[in-house]
Chain A
């Protein structure tokens, strides 16, 4: 074959235009930041935010609603990807606003790297969301993970942060290894790395079941690590606790959207034919996560650690939506179940951003305010922000009229529709356990006397955004229809 005979096709770059833009801008900001003299990196911050807004505009404008593949079927653009990416940009924008004040008070962190790493992590998540090839998923995942490892270690004089970063890196590398190993087995069983092709081979029965299920176990383990569900949850409390709160905020929110997309791409788009096998595994992970997450959270005195265990239980609850998509080979309820899980993840990210944002809001003068005691008597210090935090807590506990209730409601509805009543009963039983520690936060804010009466000093933009976040939790709880049907519609067009 001569060079002239080689087929060379220019891939359709439009589908990936947001990713390309993000990559270019991230590199530019990284280099441009080297020249910055400003200690506060205001310009870097503004450029980062503008990049995210630009990416949002590109994604929105280039969204056709149809499913299309590019880069030799390695990259997919569909409505689910567009919706998740838009939410991702929004989340990162909000995160950066919340983190700004915290970072400024810590000169060792106040370099531009936080922003460029955040952009690279976002790019990684975008690639994960749009991956239709096992290698693409892996590339996106690694880009995200490596950025996060660096972000956790960013407060370099802090021993807990360094320890957390080390733990995160070692365990994360192990999980990546598991995932890769599982992917190689899937390749061995089906002979392809393209997710749609895998699905087709499985559908036609052209695969080696033994090897596939063997690989599936490793893939599920890798996914479970990234989602942070029991028994692959060990890193979550330590990393959440040890990382600077601004980074915890990042880890606790945006990557959940990408992890959801990864689960959808790998398990639902690719391996739906063997759903029976992975559903069995995920049910066990889900129940264990709800049990251990909720029970362990009760014992915590540190709010970040408590929220870490709460995150474990929430991801367990979300998995309930994933495991009830196919019942006895019947995929009638699939859309219902997966869109419920998607709604759950989105509302969790919204609430979680507000909760960690509140810890940042209370942090002053370079000190953390992540102990439960730091919230003592908050109602006396600031009734408004105590109210916002209370809404977050009741939303996480799943009490109406807050959006968390409808998230739990729609997932439970999918579980009951799948005929798995016992699973629904287990889920609500552990929700009841979980309610205790959320109520305790409310108790601390409202029933206890404040240790100090110092007013809350936070930049105005953060206060406004925090209030908007709280109102969103309440308003989406009263009018959940739009977001619910958006999830259902995007999945309908994508599956």
Chain B
């Protein structure tokens, strides 16, 4: 297998499949478009499996590396590779793509080919982001992935979709343009290299590190999103179609956090230590304040969107504790959140498809008409609240443990969210699912069909599997995380 360019396959199989789907054209060929996109998504997932099975646990180095010159004029290379940090996200993304294709199977009935092609192309681009080891290649994938999501929100979204699509695009672009200047600065000061690994090794003075860190912070904080630049996310989630919300929550939010690990920490370690308190403060605000904001939401999607921001606060908090437990906990939290928030948005999508409302007040007593759905929704609500034995618990618990070692009061503040998180999730669940049947819309609800059942099972395997036995996920991270922290502990100032 060593000769197979697995990462290139992971990137280009979905993109090519997307172009093929696009070529099926009008909605007359919708069944063909759906079938082809499912084939493409599954093929995209299959090619990522060897990344896990062939992964060497004992080296922190990049694996499955591909290196070819791309633009020699600027020494830009087509340089792909994954380590323990990024590998799982490639697989997670390919997995989510399959669920998204299934989730849009019946619901989307206009411009079917464009819809599925958008997701497949985005899937390839996102894989590119997680496996790029060249600054320009990373940036190109990072920005290009905005286009499909912009179109998906704008074409298939809700009533206020235009506003949400523009806000999403311009907010993210605002962050990434400063990031581009940071990349160019690194290119010039490294004497003409765009290799991220070269930048990791390069000594940089404190002032430059601080500016670089801030430029990275703007780019990634918008993407995570961290308080106070989170406002685009609830809008984007509320307006996006179900598939868009799933990808946004499960994968797109991870890009920012991943960027911290790939760029901020190793390239500007001294500035990271210096400004860790600042980032931790922002994270705690996200965890606590946004948690309370989630509590008062009337729209289910908005509630889950705010809960995503709070959960991502745990991730950034975990990173800036600089302990193995913290970073690994944060990574586990990221993957877990991929399953759980994806499933939450899918659950809301299932209800929305039937009753065409996302407002909590329009529901009540759903368990009476949709018992199977209620059971799955229960599981994911519990996982979202961080109940032990679900994946949501593992990551949060690891981060809180790491925080206790770091500072008791930080840990105390973060742990308080367990209560808030349980409160807003379970209260929503109670109002939507329990009680007597609220109105004739709820009375007319039909329980989930086989396709929806399959998607729920896929998500449940992820959420429960990770909660009960997190070892397969954490063991691949160890060497890379240890190496990263060893690297971050060393000063780059000379």
Contact = CB atoms under 8 A, between A and B. Distances in A.
A401 B140 contact: yes
29 contacts: A383-B25, A399-B143, A399-B144, A399-B146, A399-B147, A400-B140, A400-B141, A400-B144, A401-B140, A405-B143, A410-B73, A412-B181, A412-B184, A413-B74, A416-B187, A417-B188, A421-B185, A428-B178, A429-B177, A432-B173, A432-B177, A443-B166, A446-B151, A447-B155, A447-B161, A481-B71, A481-B73, A484-B73, A484-B74
A424 interface: yes
Nearest to B154: A447
A348 interface: no
A443 B72 CA distance: 36
B304 to A, nearest CB: 25
Top-9 shortest CB links A-B: A428-B177, A400-B140, A416-B184, A447-B154, A484-B73, A481-B71, A400-B144, A417-B188, A424-B181
Interface in B400-456: none
A448 B425 CA distance: 36
B105 interface: no
Contacts of A435: 169-170, 173
Nearest to A436: B170
B355 interface: no
A375 B10 CA distance: 36
Given A425-B178, A432-B177, A481-B73, 20 more contacts: A394-B147, A400-B141, A400-B143, A405-B143, A409-B74, A412-B181, A413-B188, A416-B181, A416-B185, A421-B181, A424-B184, A429-B177, A431-B177, A435-B169, A439-B170, A443-B154, A446-B154, A480-B73, A484-B71, A485-B73
Contacts of A484: 71, 73-74
B352 interface: no
B251 interface: no
A447 B166 CA distance: 12
A488 interface: yes
Contacts of B144: 399-401
Given A435-B169, A436-B166, A446 B155 contact: yes
B210 to A, nearest CB: 14
Interface string A380-414: 00010000000000100001110001100110110
Contacts of B166: 436, 439, 443
Interface string B160-193: 0110011001100110011011001101100000
B70 interface: yes
A413 B139 contact: no
B245 to A, nearest CB: 18
Nearest to B179: A428
B212 to A, nearest CB: 12
B150 interface: yes
A485 B70 CA distance: 12
Contacts of A405: 140, 143
Contacts of B48: none
Contacts of A488: 73
A410 B178 CA distance: 15
Interface residues of A, number: 33
B114 interface: yes
B186 to A, nearest CB: 10
Interface of A: 379, 383, 394, 399-401, 405-406, 409-410, 412-413, 416-417, 421, 424-425, 428-429, 431-432, 435-436, 439, 442-443, 446-447, 480-481, 484-485, 488
A400 B178 contact: no
B261 interface: no
A400 B128 CA distance: 13
Nearest to A487: B73
Given A383-B114, A400-B143, A480 B71 contact: yes
Contacts of A412: 180-181, 184
Interface of chain A, helix or strand or loop or mixed? helix
Interface in B111-131: 111, 114
A405 B137 CA distance: 12
Interface string B258-274: 00000000000000000
Contacts of B70: 481
A324 to B, nearest CB: 12
Nearest to B141: A400
A406 B144 CA distance: 13
A409 B73 CA distance: 12
Contacts of A383: 25, 114
Contacts of B185: 416, 421
Contacts of B177: 428-429, 431-432
A461 to B, nearest CB: 23
A447 B73 contact: no
A74 B39 CA distance: 65
Interface in B63-87: 70-74
Among A399, A432, A485, the one with the most B-chain Cβ atoms within 10 Å of its Cβ is A399
Contacts of A428: 177-178, 180-181
A489 to B, nearest CB: 10
B136 interface: yes
A421 B136 CA distance: 18
B72 A409 contact: no
Given A413-B187, A446-B154, A481-B70, A432 B162 contact: no
Contacts of A401: 140, 144
B162 A443 contact: yes
A473 to B, nearest CB: 14
Contacts of B154: 443, 446-447
A390 to B, nearest CB: 8
Nearest to B169: A439
Contacts of A436: 166, 170
A241 to B, nearest CB: 26
B108 to A, nearest CB: 15
Nearest to A480: B71
Given A399-B144, A405-B140, A447 B162 contact: yes
A425 B174 CA distance: 11
Contacts of A406: 71
Contact of A447 (B143, B165, B188): B165
Given A394-B147, A405-B140, A428-B178, A416 B188 contact: yes
A439 B154 CA distance: 11
Contacts of B146: 399
Among B139, B178, B185, B188, the one with the most A-chain Cβ atoms within 10 Å of its Cβ is B188
Contacts of A431: 177
A443 B151 CA distance: 8
A432 B143 contact: no
A431 B170 CA distance: 11
Given A383-B114, A399-B146, A481 B72 contact: yes
B179 to A, nearest CB: 10
B154 to A, nearest CB: 4
Nearest to B139: A400
Contacts of B174: 432
A413 B184 contact: yes
Contacts of B187: 413, 416
Contact of B74 (A394, A400, A410, A439): A410
Nearest to A394: B147
B155 A409 contact: no
Contacts of A480: 71, 73
Contacts of A400: 139-141, 143-144
A178 to B, nearest CB: 36
